[in-house]
Amino acid sequence: MRPLPRSPTLLAALLCTAALIGTAHAAPQPHSVLITGADIADGTGAPLRKASVRVKGDRIDAIGELQPLSGEQVVDARGLVLAPGFIDPHNHSDEGLETDPQAETQISQGITTLLIGQDGGSAWPLGEYLERRRANPPALNVATCLGHATVREAVMGQDYKRAATPAEILRMEELVERGFKEGAICLSSGIEYVIGSYATTEEIVALSRVAGRHGGFYISHIRDEADRALSAMQEVVTIGEQAKLPVQNTHIKLGTKGVWGKSAEVIALYDAARKRGVDVSADCYPYDAWMSNMKVMVPSKRWDDPVDVGRALDDIGGAQNVLITGYTPDTAYEGRTLAQVAASRGITPEALFSEMVAKGDAAIVGKSMTEEDMKTLYQWPWTMVSSDGGIGMEHPRGAGTYPKVLGSYVREKQWLSLPEAVRKMSGLPAWRLGLTDRGTLEPGKIADLVLFNPATVKDNSTYEKPFLLSTGIEKVWVNGQLVWSEGKATGERPGKVVTR
C-alpha cells in the first residue's frame, strides 16, 4: 500500500478509483461476445469480407482480426454471413406488438426494427401507444409513422367524404405537429383507401410540410396501384417537390394488366425527379400476388354481370391468374385456378365466378405483378425490401419476406448480389428512417445483427400456411442481446422505441 497522500483532492480521487474498482467487481463487465470468422455484409453494399465482430453491451465494439478475451463468449460463424439487423419500412405489427411482443414471425426473418403506423392509419395519441411499448418491450425495435387518415378523421369525424376546408387543414397540421413531438418519424398515407382518398394533393402537401420541418418523411400507399399508377406516382413526386421532404412510394406495385411492363417508365419518372433534387425512394415486398376473396375483384359489386366480371378477369390477366384457395361449397376447387375449374365444368370463367360468389364467395390468390416488373423495381438502387406484413399477417409475406429475398432473388434468380440485398434490408432503410446508429456494421453502432446461412436461407410460409417460419436465419441480436437462436426465440425482449 502506498502512504495516503496529503492532498484532499488526491485522496478523493484515490477513494473514487477504489470505489470504481469496487463496483467493477460487484457488477460484471458489460456482456461481451465475439462472433468469429463470419463473412461480413456490412449494409453499405460493399463486397463480403471475412472478419470477427466483438459486441460489448449494446454496441459493436470492434471489427477485424480479433482474439477472444478471457471469459468471453465466442460464436463460431464460419460459413455464415453476418449482417446488420433488417429494418422493415412497412410493417403492420401495431396491435401484434401488444398481444405477441415476442414477435417470432418477425425476428425469425432477421427483422430487428420495424416501422408501423402505415397506410394512413396509426395509433392516436401516439405518445400513449409508445409508452405502452416501453412498458411492455417487444423483442425488436419499433418506430412509427403518424397516419394521415388518423389525423383527418380526428378533425373531420364521419364527415370526411369531401375536401377539407382551410381551417380543418390547419387543425390537422396542429395534430401532425403533436404527433411528431410525441415520437413519429414519418407521415403515412393510404390515399387509395376510403378516408384518405378524399384528400387533395394540397392537403397532403400542407401536412407533409410539418413532417418535413421535424426531419420526417412522407410514406404513401399511393392513390392508385392499378391502371392509373403512373399518375399516382407523379403525385408522390409533386408532394416531395412542393413540401420539400423525402418521399417513399411504399409497397410499390404495377397491379393490373393495363400497367404491366411499365416498370422502366416508373424508374425513369423517379430518376428524373431525383435528378431535380426530389428525394424519392420505394420499398417492395417480394410477392407477386394478393390474397382476398373473389368479391373484391369487381368494384361495381355487380357479381352476376358478365361484362363487369369479364373486365375484372381481364385486369388480372385472365382466369388462369385466379387461384382458388378456399371454397366451402366444393373443396375440390381448392388449389385449382378459376380457368381450370371452368374448363372442367364446360362453362365460362365469368359464369363460374358469378355462381361461386352467389354460393358464398371463395378465398383466392390473385396475381398482381409480373416477374419482369418485380425484378426491375428491385434492381433500382433506391428500392428497399419491405414486408407489408407483421405479426399475425395471413399472407406468406408476414413470416417469409426477408428469407425469400435472400433465397429466391439472391441465391436462385440472382437478381441482386448478396451485399446489395443486405443493403436494401439494412443500410438503405436506416438512411430513409434517419437511424444514424443502426443499419451498418461499424464500431460504435448499435449491435442489431443477423447471422444467416447463405446456402440454405429460405422462406417456408405459403398462402395456405402463412405462419410457417423460415430456415437459415441462425442467430439474431437486438441491442446486443440474442433474441433468436437455433430455430427458437430466446425469450429476451430488448426492443426499444426508436424516435428521432
Q: What does the alpha-carbon distance between residue 108 and residue 163 come to, in Å, rounded to a whole number?
A: 44
**Stretch near Zn ion under the rule CB under 5 A, chosen from 37-45, 114-122, 364-372, 414-422:** 114-122
What does DSSP assign to residue 411? I
**Distance (Å, rounded) from C-alpha 70 to C-alpha 73?**
9
Collect all residues with Cβ–Cβ distance below 8 Å to 409 and sequence separation of at least 6.
Answer: 286, 378, 415, 416, 421
Q: How far is the CB of 83 from Zn ion (least distance, A)?
A: 26
Q: Least CB distance from residue 116 to Zn ion, whole Å? A: 12
Question: From residue 474, how far is each of 181, 352, 355, 453, 482 by CA, in Å?
Answer: 38, 47, 48, 7, 11
**Minimum CB–partner distance for residue 304 and Zn ion (Å):** 30
* Choice between 104 and 192, CB closer to Zn ion: 192
**Rg (Cα) of the chain, in Å, rounded?**
25
**In the complex, minimum distance from the CB of residue 228 to Zn ion, in angstroms, rounded to a whole number:** 16
Residue 221 touches Zn ion, criterion: CB under 5 A: yes
Query: Whose Cβ is closer to Zn ion: residue 102's or residue 383's?
Result: 383
User: Out of 61, 119, 361, 474, which residue is the one contacting Zn ion (CB under 5 A)?
Assistant: 119
As measured in angstroms, the least distance from the Cβ of 190 to Zn ion is 6
Q: Is 203 in the site for Zn ion (CB under 5 A)?
A: no
- Taking the complex as a whole, the smallest distance from the CB of residue 482 to Zn ion amounts, in Å, to 33
Residue 119 or 308 with smaller CB distance to Zn ion: 119
Choices 109-117, 220-228, 333-341, 419-427; region in contact with Zn ion by CB under 5 A: 220-228
Q: Closest CB to Zn ion among 92 and 445? A: 92
Least distance between Zn ion and beta carbon 298 (Å): 21
Sheet strands (E) in 300-350: 322-326
C-beta nearest to Zn ion: residue:
221
Show contacts with Zn ion in window 463-492 (CB under 5 A). Answer: none
Please choose, out of 113-121, 210-218, 276-284, 389-397, the segment that lies near Zn ion by the rule CB under 5 A.
Answer: 113-121
Between CA 34 and CA 15 the distance in angstroms is 34
Element (H, E) at 128: helix 126-135
**Cα 222 to chain centroid, rounded:** 16
In the numeric block, which cell numbers belong to residue 62?
470492434
Closer Cβ to Zn ion, 284 or 319, answer by number: 284
Q: Which three cell numbers stand for residue 401?
A: 419476406
Query: Grid coordinates standing for 477?
Result: 441480436
Nearest C-alpha neighbor of 199 from the set 174, 217, 184, 220: 220
Shortest Å distance, C-beta 292 to Zn ion: 13
Closest CB to Zn ion among 221 and 223?
221
Number of residues binding to Zn ion, judged by CB under 5 A: 2
Which single residue is written with the C-alpha cell 394521415?
148
Q: What is the Cα–Cα distance from 402 to 85, expressed in whole angstroms?
A: 11
Minimum distance from CB of 244 to Zn ion (Å)? 25
Which residue in this structure is represented by grid cell 381551417? 167
- Considering the complex, state which of residue 61 and residue 119 has its C-beta at the smaller distance from Zn ion: 119
Q: In this complex, which beta carbon is closest to Zn ion, that of residue 209 or of residue 221?
A: 221
Residue 141 CA from chain centroid, whole number: 12
Closest to Zn ion by CB, 118 or 354: 118
Peptide bond into 125 cis (omega under 30): yes
92 forms part of the interface with Zn ion (CB under 5 A): no
Cross-strand pairs, 145: 186
Interaction site with Zn ion (CB under 5 A): 119, 221
